[in-house]
Amino acid sequence: MITEAGLNHTFGIPGALIFEQDAGGLLFARMATDAGTASLSLQGGHLLSWQSSASAEPVLWMSKQARFAAGKSIRGGVPVCWPWFGPHATDPSLPAHGFARIAQWSVTGSDVNAQGEVSITLALQHDLAHETVWPHSANLSLTVTLGESLRMQLETRNSGMTPFVLGEALHTYFNISDIEAVTVHGLEGGEYWDTVGGVEKKRQAGPIEFSAETDRVYINSDAATVIDDPVYARRIHIAKCGSLTTVVWNPWTDKANRMGDLGQPDGWRQMLCVESANAWDNKITLAPGAVHSLDVAYRVETR
């Protein structure tokens, strides 16, 4: 049985990485460097928080109504969507965005490098419950590294004898001052699927601005993006590798009210999802023995 004490004995790093358990039995990793702090839930391999010393405000958004319970997805932070993105292609009764974000992950490594960055590596346990909904053999690992930037590496290895199709995303919720005050840069001229009120392919003209529900899947793009937040006087830089899809999402009032866990009445105003993904047109076919890595680096620039 995995315990708080056992994790601290094997993987804890004094002053940099500790493990804690809440009253409900969930296990968490707390990371700290001179450049900031972060926390991670072992359920879901879910990055819950990141506070950069470069900015007074948290970088990630977490709903005040987020549920922390066994087998429940957490609203906010960085959910890991895997091995499919959105609803399952043929069975809508299966969990949206796959099972990784509600599964129990194992810690396999921790480290502090010469630059003072602390990292933790998790692996997803492959068990019979997963095989019944996704009958493939795969090894999945997630490494989170905290320093001046925060980096995430999601690596999938096909350990079976047949190829499989993979959809995935790091579904990052960013903490912003107000959705109508921010803009997203870097996707100008790109094609996207607009999924609000139907599905229609469009092309982005200028930076992305927000005045209504937004749910866009930008395809065939490995571009870096920037969230410009003049009220918080900062820019959040998002650089990615191994990702050809970027999802930009804010539910706005009506959908937020229907969802019920976004921090009523207006929690949606302080959140914006810019997700690094491989989805829709850009799902990956992974051959036996092949490895795919989705890497994202987040950096805060103040002004």
The domain containing residue 124 runs over which residues?
4-302
Cα dihedral 188, 193, 196, 202 sign = positive
Length of the chain in residues, anyone? 303
Q: Tell me: the pLDDT tens digits for 152-172?
A: 999 999 999 999 999 999 999
| CA 141 – CA 292 distance, rounded (Å) | 11
Q: How crowded is residue 166: how many other Cβ atoms within 10 Å of its Cβ?
A: 23
Q: Give the closest residue to 247 by CA, choosing from 221, 212, 284, 210.
A: 221
pLDDT value for 297: 98
Tell me the per-residue pLDDT of 45-78, one tens digit each, with 9 for 90 and over.
999 999 999 999 999 999 988 889 898 899 999 9
Total domains present in the chain: 1
- Spatial separation of the C-alpha atoms in residues 142 and 147, rounded to whole Å: 17
Task: Give dist(CA 250, CA 228) in Å, integer.
Answer: 16
The proportion of the chain whose per-residue pLDDT surpasses 90, expressed as a percent, equals 85
From the list 132, 120, 87, the residue with the least C-alpha distance to 11 is: 120
Residue type, 141: S
What pLDDT is attached to residue 131? 76
Q: What is the pTM of this model?
A: 0.97
Q: What is the pLDDT of residues 230-245, one digit of tens each?
A: 999 999 999 999 999 9
Consecutive H or E run containing 128? helix 128-133
Contact (Cβ atoms closer than 8 angstroms) between residue 245 and residue 187: no
Average pLDDT score over residue span 122-142:
83
Q: For position 210, which CATH number holds?
A: 2.70.98.10
pLDDT, tens digit, 9 for 90 and up, residues 164-204: 999 999 999 999 999 999 999 999 999 999 999 999 999 99
The pLDDT confidence band at residue 263, using thresholds 50, 70 and 90, is confident
Task: State yes or no: pLDDT of 130 exceeds 80.
Answer: no
- SS3 at position 183: strand
pLDDT for the residue 127: 63
- φ/ψ region of 190 (left if φ > 0, alpha if ψ in -120 to 50, else beta) reads beta
- Kindly list the catalytic residues: 171, 275
